[in-house]
């Protein structure tokens, strides 16, 4: 039978908007040594907004944005929403043969030209020379923005950058994790420089970036193989396998159902403070059990 104080701990969690699935999860949360935080939607609000359009090879800003947005209308990625919204009143043409390359970008035919939009890896795979756009992208990433390259008809045409706001509580939550003696890491599919810039802003020094969606769980497992008890916090479909792999998975309640189903703990609010509170409740409960 579950000891009474474990039941009390689960109840205390519920009063604080923290739904703990089992006494086991509550117990394990007190032993966590590392907490891995998804970036987009977990540390940040997950609602990126268009910030910059830089062009090259004679293309103009509206043209690059119009073609990019025409393609992104077909994508459900948060980056896509930012670009479509950023295109505002521009008239978007129909596209043909849309395809998404997970973790890399999107492509389609637009007005008889092949158009692609995504990260450096995608451009590299397709043999697109980036020229001075590479330095532009680096500068944007160092500001914590996510740059995406656009190629039109086989030539580099521009860089579109979006920025996502850090949630109000993220900085204080990271500091609280550290005070509790936890190592804090960030995991993201976003590029290394962007991730490091966000990491600096919230006080995280261990950054796992450019991680493909299917590799997030594997990264959690690698930390476990270092002998650590690992907590994972995420909101997206991509995070579900990592949430299941972690010793304790925490889902942001405002995230996708798939993440919530895979997790041991659900935070009703979107704040990372909920994870801190969960660990605190767990530690005080375990003191009572002992």
- Catalytic annotation, residues: 38
By CB under 5 A, tell whether 38 contacts Mg ion: yes
Residue that is written with structure tokens 């530690």 in the block: 283
Beta bridge partners of 161: 52, 147
By CB under 6 A, tell whether 186 contacts ligand ADP: no
Of 18 and 148, the one with the shorter C-beta distance to ligand ADP is: 148
Quote the Cα angle for 137-143-147, to 5°.
30
The size of the chain, in residues, is 290
Provide the 8-state DSSP code for 7: H
**CA gap 277, 284 in Å, rounded:** 11
Of 163 and 278, the one with the shorter C-beta distance to ligand ADP is: 163
The beta strand positions in 93-171, using DSSP E, are 95-101, 105-110, 113-118, 146-152, 155-163
By CB under 6 A, tell whether 42 contacts ligand ADP: no
- Residues 185/37, Cβ–Cβ less than 8 Å: yes
Of 12 and 198, the one with the shorter C-beta distance to ligand ADP is: 198
**CA gap 231, 228 in Å, rounded:** 10
Q: Which of 56, 190, 196, 215 binds ligand ADP (CB under 6 A)?
A: 190
By CB under 6 A, tell whether 104 contacts ligand ADP: yes
Give the nearest residue (CB) to ligand ADP.
Answer: 189
Stretch that binds ligand ADP, among 50-58, 70-78, 263-271, 272-280 (CB under 6 A): 70-78
Q: Give me the least distance between CB of 158 and ligand ADP, in Å please.
A: 13
Instruction: Name residues contacting ligand ADP, limited to 8-37 (CB under 6 A).
Output: none
Stretch that binds ligand ADP, among 23-31, 49-57, 103-111, 268-276 (CB under 6 A): 103-111
* Of the candidates 260, 182, 267, 252, the residue with the CA atom closest to the CA atom of residue 223: 182
Instruction: Kindly calculate the radius of gyration of the chain based on its CA atoms and give it in whole angstroms.
Output: 21
Q: Which of 215, 235, 247, 264 binds Mg ion (CB under 5 A)?
A: 235
Q: Which residues are at the interface with ligand ADP (CB under 6 A)? A: 40, 72, 75, 77, 79-80, 103-106, 117-119, 146, 148, 188-190, 213
């Amino acid at each position: 039978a579950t000891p009474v104080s474990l039941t009390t701990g689960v109840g205390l969690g519920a009063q604080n908007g923290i739904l703990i699935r089992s006494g086991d999860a509550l117990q394990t949360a007190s032993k966590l040594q590392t907490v891995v935080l998804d970036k987009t939607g977990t540390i940040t609000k997950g609602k990126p907004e268009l910030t910059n359009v830089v062009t090259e090879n004679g293309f103009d800003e509206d043209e690059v944005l119009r073609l990019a947005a025409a393609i992104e209308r077909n994508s459900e990625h948060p980056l896509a929403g930012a670009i479509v919204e950023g295109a505002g009143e521009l008239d978007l043409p129909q596209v043909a043969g849309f395809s998404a390359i997970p973790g890399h970008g999107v492509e389609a035919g637009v007005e008889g030209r092949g158009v692609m939009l995504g990260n450096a890896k995608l451009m590299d795979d397709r043999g697109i020379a980036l020229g001075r756009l590479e330095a532009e992208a680096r500068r944007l990433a160092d500001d914590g923005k996510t740059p995406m390259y656009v190629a039109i008809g086989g030539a580099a045409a521009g860089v579109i950058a979006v920025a996502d706001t850090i949630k109000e509580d993220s900085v204080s939550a990271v500091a609280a994790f550290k005070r509790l003696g936890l190592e804090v890491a960030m995991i993201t599919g976003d590029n290394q420089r962007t991730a490091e810039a966000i990491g600096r802003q919230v006080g995280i020094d261990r950054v796992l970036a450019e991680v493909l969606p299917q590799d997030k769980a594997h990264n959690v497992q690698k930390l476990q193989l270092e002998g650590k008890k690992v907590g994972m916090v995420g909101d997206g479909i991509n995070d579900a396998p990592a949430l299941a792999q972690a010793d304790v998975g925490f889902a942001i309640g405002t995230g996708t159902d798939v993440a919530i189903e895979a997790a041991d703990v659900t935070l009703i609010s979107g704040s990372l403070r909920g994870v801190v509170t969960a660990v605190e409740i767990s530690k005080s409960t375990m003191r009572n059990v002992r």
